């Protein structure tokens, strides 16, 4: 793990801010280590903006929160600053391939069932028409006898066909949110459900659409013709709705994830 990006001129680095707060509180590194149970070498490294001893970004964010509380400062701005400066080190979460696999499995079954129903209806209608036409040309007695069995046979089939055709509309309302997504576009909604999360969004051309912390209860929606790329700093605190479908939490609490979505991803219908 690298030390991280250089802090901006108008604010100190994460480690410098923690060191200043500790000195202002009149605490030594040993005292902070004793109260937080974070080992002295780790405290010293963090105050020098070296997070390689933390064992990963999740542990680094946890240490930052612990040290910030120990020296009396709000940990969230420091965690957000750390995420912004170290965000490029996380690997993207493989969300999209899962839904693509589901799409490949589900679509052929639905198409085959529809084709079978259409073929059955055509066969029944053709049989009824042929029987009626043949019976009408064979005389009064034949016409009297033939239509009645065919009519009793065809009536249930004609009654059943609207029911089987109606099965598809009953399934469609469950995907009504997906159907409402603009065709040929990708629409992503991210909502902070259980806490604050830093979010960065960009479109298919790499243009930045949003970069800010979403507080609990806030949400943002992004739409593009090609793709939407997200970086989420506290994945467990937010829920994702892609093309109208609820994907649930973007990850776990404190996890940083990078996600990319395109039109038709996840499965539409």
Residue 132 pLDDT? 64
Neighbours of 240 (CB within 10 A): 21
239/189 Cα distance (integer angstroms):
8
Tokens of 34: 């004793």
Residue 111 pLDDT? 52
Q: Which residues pair with 212 in a beta bridge?
A: 199
Q: Is the peptide bond before 266 cis (omega within 30 degrees of 0)?
A: yes
Neighbours of 43 (CB within 10 A): 24
Residue 240 pLDDT? 86
DSSP 3-43: --PPPPTTS--HHHHHHHHHHHTT--HHHHHHHH---HHHH
Residue 184 pLDDT? 81
Tokens of 45: 């490294």
Q: Tens digit of pLDDT for each residue in 23-57?
A: 999 999 999 999 999 999 999 999 999 999 998 89
- Considering only CA atoms, give the Rg of the chain: 31
Residues in the chain: 269
Residue 91 pLDDT? 45
Q: Which contiguous run of DSSP H or E holds residue 258?
A: strand 257-261
CA 85 to chain centre: 24
Distances (CA, A) of 207 to 181, 182, 200: 22, 21, 11
Tokens of 265: 């991803």
Q: HSE-up of 155 (CA within 13 Å, CB side)? A: 6
Residue 222 pLDDT? 92
Residue 9 pLDDT? 53
Q: Which CATH number fits domain 14-89: 3.90.320.10, 1.10.260.40, 3.20.20.70, 3.30.1950.10?
A: 1.10.260.40
Tens digit of pLDDT at every position of the chain (269 positions): 434 444 555 678 999 999 999 999 999 999 999 999 999 999 999 999 999 999 889 999 999 999 999 999 999 999 999 998 876 544 444 444 444 444 445 444 555 677 788 888 988 888 877 776 666 554 444 434 444 444 344 444 434 443 444 444 443 433 444 445 677 898 889 999 998 988 899 998 999 999 888 889 999 999 999 899 989 878 898 998 888 899 999 899 988 889 898 987 664 33
List, in sequence order, the alpha helices (H) in the chain: 14-24, 29-36, 40-47, 57-71, 75-86, 96-136, 140-145, 147-171, 176-179
DSSP 267: -
Q: Is the peptide bond before 182 cis (omega within 30 degrees of 0)?
A: no
Tokens of 141: 């007695």
Q: Tens digit of pLDDT for each residue in 158-200?
A: 344 434 444 444 434 334 444 456 778 988 899 999 989 888 9
- pTM given for the model: 0.35
């Amino acid at each position: 793990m690298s030390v991280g990006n250089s802090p901006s001129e108008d604010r100190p680095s994460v480690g410098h801010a923690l060191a200043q707060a500790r000195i202002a509180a009149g605490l030594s590194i040993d005292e902070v280590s004793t109260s937080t149970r974070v080992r002295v070498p780790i405290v010293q490294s963090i105050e020098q903006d070296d997070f390689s001893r933390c064992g990963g970004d999740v542990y680094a964010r946890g240490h930052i929160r612990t040290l910030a509380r120990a020296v009396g400062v709000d940990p969230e701005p420091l965690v957000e600053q750390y995420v912004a400066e170290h965000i490029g080190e996380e690997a993207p979460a493989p969300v999209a391939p899962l839904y693509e696999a589901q799409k490949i499995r589900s679509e052929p079954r639905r198409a085959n069932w529809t084709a079978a129903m259409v073929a059955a209806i055509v066969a029944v209608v053709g049989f009824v028409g042929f029987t009626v036409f043949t019976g009408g040309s064979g005389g009064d007695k034949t016409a009297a006898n033939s239509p009645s069995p065919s009519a009793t046979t065809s009536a249930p089939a004609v009654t059943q066909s609207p029911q089987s055709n109606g099965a598809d509309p009953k399934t469609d309302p469950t995907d009504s949110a997906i159907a409402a997504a603009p065709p040929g576009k990708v629409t992503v909604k991210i909502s902070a459900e259980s806490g604050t999360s830093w979010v960065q969004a960009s479109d298919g051309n790499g243009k930045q659409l949003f970069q800010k912390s979403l507080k609990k209860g806030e949400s943002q929606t992004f739409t593009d013709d090609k793709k939407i790329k997200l970086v989420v700093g506290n994945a467990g605190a937010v829920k994702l709705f892609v093309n109208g479908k609820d994907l649930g939490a973007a990850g776990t609490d404190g996890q940083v994830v990078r996600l990319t979505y395109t039109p038709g991803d996840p499965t539409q219908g």
